[in-house]
Amino acid sequence: MASDKDTIIKVTNAAVRFNMASERIDNLKEYFVKLIKRELMFQEFMALKDINFEVKRGEAWGLIGTNGSGKSTLLKLICGILKPYRGTVEVRGSIAPLIELGAGFDGELTATENIYLNGAVLGYSKEFMDAHYDEIVEFAELKDFMNMPIKNYSSGMAARLGFAIATIVQPEILIVDEVLAVGDAAFQEKCQERMHHMLENGTTLLFVSHTMATVRQLCDHAIWLNKGNVVMQGEAESVCDAYMESLNLPENA
């Protein structure tokens, strides 16, 4: 319940609606002409349908389901990036959203410059970033590439730097959306260790992954989405087992 002090995230009857153009338009001029004349037809698409989801402080939830099931949309709803078409979303705590690592980087700036730029966006002072600069570089394992423009980084290198910046503080809520998939196995393990440490110190985790073994390892709860609907939620092992069975895949995949 909303009055429960242990509840940190509460989603009640939430729906998200997108409009998709239902006709093909070949050029921008035609699009704007139809838009001005109100002749542009849209097809309604419900990305999430009446979601009810409650997370207690300190819990770790895995969000699972096939591509297009609504996992990332639910995370963006909780982060405040999207607003519900109907229903409510209540969040009590600071969020570190690792949804698109490196999305806020300026490709023309060096990695060092981007560390300070990202720090400013996150609300950190230059003095704070000075104090944590070496820690960020060491964790990202990019010491020899800090004067290189980010546009020359691989997606894996950018993700390393983004994760290192986003996790220099202990957030109340950590939201991770498949960002570990771009790193090598050793760095993925390193990120998981840092997340484990945060969980041990009280951080609440929302974690999207297609790898059930990682969900089982990190999460104590899970929610299974399919085409915008909740299929099942509860204890992580049970939800992962049911999901894997539905796909006819081994339960330890």
What pLDDT shows up at residue 24? 63
What pLDDT shows up at residue 121? 80
Which residue is associated with the tokens 């790898």?
211
Model confidence band, residue 2 (pLDDT cutoffs 50, 70, 90): very low
Rg (CA), the chain: 20
Model confidence band, residue 212 (pLDDT cutoffs 50, 70, 90): very high
Higher pLDDT, 226 or 188: 226
What pLDDT shows up at residue 143? 94
Higher pLDDT, 123 or 142: 142
Mean pLDDT of 156-163: 86
Distances (CA, A) of 149 to 110, 121, 178: 4, 19, 24
Say if pTM beats, i.e. exceeds, 0.75: yes
Per residue in 45-74, pLDDT (tens digit) is: 789 999 999 999 999 999 999 998 999 899
Q: Helix (H, G, I), strand (E, B), or coil: what is residue 225?
A: strand
Model confidence band, residue 81 (pLDDT cutoffs 50, 70, 90): confident
What pLDDT shows up at residue 147? 96
Q: Which amino acid is at 191?
A: C
Mean pLDDT of 88-108: 82
